[in-house]
A and B are shown apart, each in its own frame.
Chain A
Amino acid sequence: MLSPADLRALPPEPHSVGRSRSPFCQAVGLGLAALARLLAGASIRWIASQPDTCQRVYFANHTSHLDALVIWASLPRSIRDLTRPVAAKDYWSRGMVRRWLAQEVFDAILIDRTDIKVHQSPVDIMLREAGTTHSLIVFPEGSRSVTGEVGEFKSGLYYLAKKRPEIELVPVHIDNLNRVLPRGEFLPVPLLSCISFGPPLWLERGEAKLEFLARARRAVMALKE
C-alpha cells in the first residue's frame, strides 16, 4: 500500500492517462512495433500469466539495444500505450532521432547513469513518472550482458518493490535477440527470437534484498525452460 509520504511524493502526475501523442507519433509507434516484431521474428508467450492494463513493472534480461523496443512491441496495443520503457539517458538522448523516438514515440523514462543524486535516485524518478497508471519496462542487470548469461540484478528492482509493494512485477525472458543485434553492431540480422512473460511476483513481507533479487533473477531464467 502507498504510505501517505509516498502519496505526497507522487502527484502532481506529469503523465495523465493517455497523454495525447500526436497522430504522427502514434503512427510511427505502431509502424515501429510491427517492424520490430517482424524483424526480430518475435514469438510471444504468456506463461501462467495474462496481459493486463494494471500497473506493472516488466523486468527482463538485457541482451541487445532492441530489448526495450521488442518487449514494448510485444505487448497488446492498449497495454503498450500505458507502458513506458526505462532507458539510459546517455544512449537515448544522443542525436535528434533517438531523442525524438525516446520522448515522443516510446514515451521512455530516461535515467542518467552517470549522474545519480541522493534526492533524485533513479527509483524515485521512475516511480514519479509512472504515477499510478503507467507500467514500466526495466532491465535490472543495468547493462547488456556480454556472454548471453543473465547477470546479477542491481538493487533498483528491490527498492521499486519496497516503495510500491502493490505493483505487479512481471518477469520477462528475451531469447536470441542478442544474435539479432549484438553489442557493438548497428545492422540487425533478421533471426527468430522469443519473448516470454512469466507469472507476476511481489516482494514478500520481510524478504531480504539479496534473497528477493536472486528470486527475481531465477524467475527470469526459469522462463528459458
Chain B
Amino acid sequence: MTDNRTIALVAGVLALLTAATAVGQFLRRHPDRGLDLAAIRTFNGRLRGWWILCTVLAAAFWLGTTATVVLFGLVSFWALREFITLTPTRKGDHRALFWVFVAFTPAHYVLVGLNRYDIFSVFLPVYATLFILARVAFAGDYKRFLERTAKIQAGLVVCVYCLSFAPALLQLEIPGSEGPGSNFRLLFFLILLVQFADCMQYVWSRMLGHRLVAPTVSSNRTWEGLLGSATSTALLAGALWWAAPPFQLWQATLAGFVVAAMGFAGGMTMSAIKRDRGVKDYGTLVVGHGGVLDRIDSMCFAAPVFYHITLLVTGIKP
C-alpha cells in the first residue's frame, strides 16, 4: 500500500495536524489575543482526539484488513454497551441481550471480515430482529413488548450494523486499484469527510446559524449549519477526489454532500435519545468513559449510505 497517492494523503494529513497543533499551542501560550479561552481548549482537545484517531487508524491499516474489521467490531461493541446502558430494559430482556452481545455482534463482524455481503446485509436486520422478538416473548414479560424490543433492535442496527459498513469498504474490489491501499484510502476518505462535516456543522451554526432545526432536541444544530456543512464537505470531497479511488470528481462531491447530511441526521437522532433520557452526553452517564457513541453517531449514519453510493455510482459489485 505504499503507492504515491497514499503517501501524499498521509503526508497531507500529518502536515495539517502538525500545523494545527502548532497553532493550538501558540494560542494556548499567548492567551492575550482576545480569543475565547474555552474555544481554544476545545480546539486543542479535539486535536488530541484526532491525533489519537489517526494513530489508531494508521496502526490498524498497517496491520491489515482483519485488524481494521476487529477494531471497528470493538468500537461497535463498546457503543452498544453505552446504548443499552442508557436504555432502560427489564429483566425479561436479559437473555435476549446476552445473545445480542456475545453472539450476534461478533458473528456479524466475522461475516463482514469474510466478505459475505449476501449474509451480513440481512443478518442483523432480519435474523437478529426475529430472534430478539421471539426471545423476549419466550421470557414471558409482555409489558411494553414492542417498545422494549424496538430499543434493543435500534441499538443493534445503529451501533453494529450501520457502523460495520465502514470496514466493509475494505472488501470492495475496486477496478484498476493499486492494491489494498486504494480501499484504505476510500475508508479514510469517509472518516475524514464525517469528521470534517461535524466541525463544519459547528462552525457554520456558530457563525450564521439562527434557524434551529428542532430546538427541543438540539440547541445548536441549525439549518444553516446543515447546509453549510454539506456544501463545505462536498467542496473538500471534490478537492480530494484523487485520493478516493473509484470516484470521479462529481461522484466524490456528491458523496461528500450526502455524508455530511447523514452525519447531521445521526447527531440529531442521538441528541433526541439523550434528551429523552435526560443526559447531556453518553460519557457523563458513566464517569470516566469517553462516550464512544458521542464520537461515532455521525459515522453510524453516514457509513451505510456512503457504502451504497459507492456501489451505485461506480457499478462495483459487493
Contacts and interface: CB of A to CB of B under 8 A. Distances in A.
Q: Do A and B bind each other?
A: yes
B289 A189 contact: no
Given A176-B85, A191-B84, A192-B82, A43 B101 contact: no
Range, interface on chain A: 10 to 19
Contact of B98 (A183, A187, A193): A187
Contact of B101 (A44, A176, A183, A190): A190
B81 A190 contact: yes
B89 A192 contact: no
Contacts of A185: 91, 94-95
A179 interface: yes
B286 interface: yes
Nearest to B100: A189
B98 A43 contact: no
Interface in A170-193: 176, 179, 182-183, 185, 187-193
Given A41-B81, A176-B85, A179-B89, A192 B94 contact: no
Given A190-B81, A192-B85, A43 B97 contact: no
B176 interface: no
A196 to B, nearest CB: 9
A160 interface: no
B34 interface: no
A60 to B, nearest CB: 17
Given A189-B97, A189-B98, A43 B288 contact: yes
Given A179-B89, A182-B91, A192 B81 contact: yes
A191 B85 contact: yes
Given A176-B85, A179-B89, A189-B101, A194 B286 contact: yes
B289 A192 contact: yes
Nearest to A194: B286
B84 A43 contact: no
Contacts of B126: none
B287 A43 contact: yes
Interface in B80-110: 81-82, 84-85, 89, 91, 94-95, 97-98, 101
A194 B287 contact: yes
B80 to A, nearest CB: 9
Nearest to A146: B91
Contacts of A179: 85, 89, 94
Contact of B94 (A182, A190, A193, A194): A182
B285 interface: yes
Contact of B81 (A45, A183, A191, A194): A191
A2 B288 CA distance: 40
A187 B81 CA distance: 16
A194 B283 CA distance: 12
Contacts of A190: 81, 101
A41 B101 CA distance: 13
A189 B94 contact: yes
A33 B97 CA distance: 23
A44 to B, nearest CB: 7
Nearest to A175: B286
A45 B84 CA distance: 22
Most B-side CB within 10 Å, residue of A44, A45, A192 = A192
A19 to B, nearest CB: 33
A187 B93 CA distance: 13
Contacts of B286: 41, 43, 176, 192-194
A46 B107 CA distance: 38
A179 B152 CA distance: 14
Contacts of A192: 81-82, 85, 285-286, 289
Q: What are the 7 closest A-B residue pairs judged by CB atoms, nearest first? A: A43-B288, A192-B85, A192-B286, A189-B97, A191-B85, A187-B98, A43-B286
Interface of A: 41, 43-45, 176, 179, 182-183, 185, 187-194
Interface of B: 81-82, 84-85, 89, 91, 94-95, 97-98, 101, 285-289
Given A189-B97, A194-B287, 11 more contacts: A43-B286, A179-B85, A182-B91, A182-B94, A185-B94, A185-B95, A189-B94, A191-B84, A191-B85, A192-B286, A194-B286
19 contacts: A41-B85, A41-B289, A44-B288, A45-B288, A176-B85, A179-B85, A182-B91, A182-B94, A183-B91, A185-B91, A185-B95, A187-B98, A189-B98, A190-B81, A190-B101, A192-B82, A192-B85, A192-B285, A192-B289
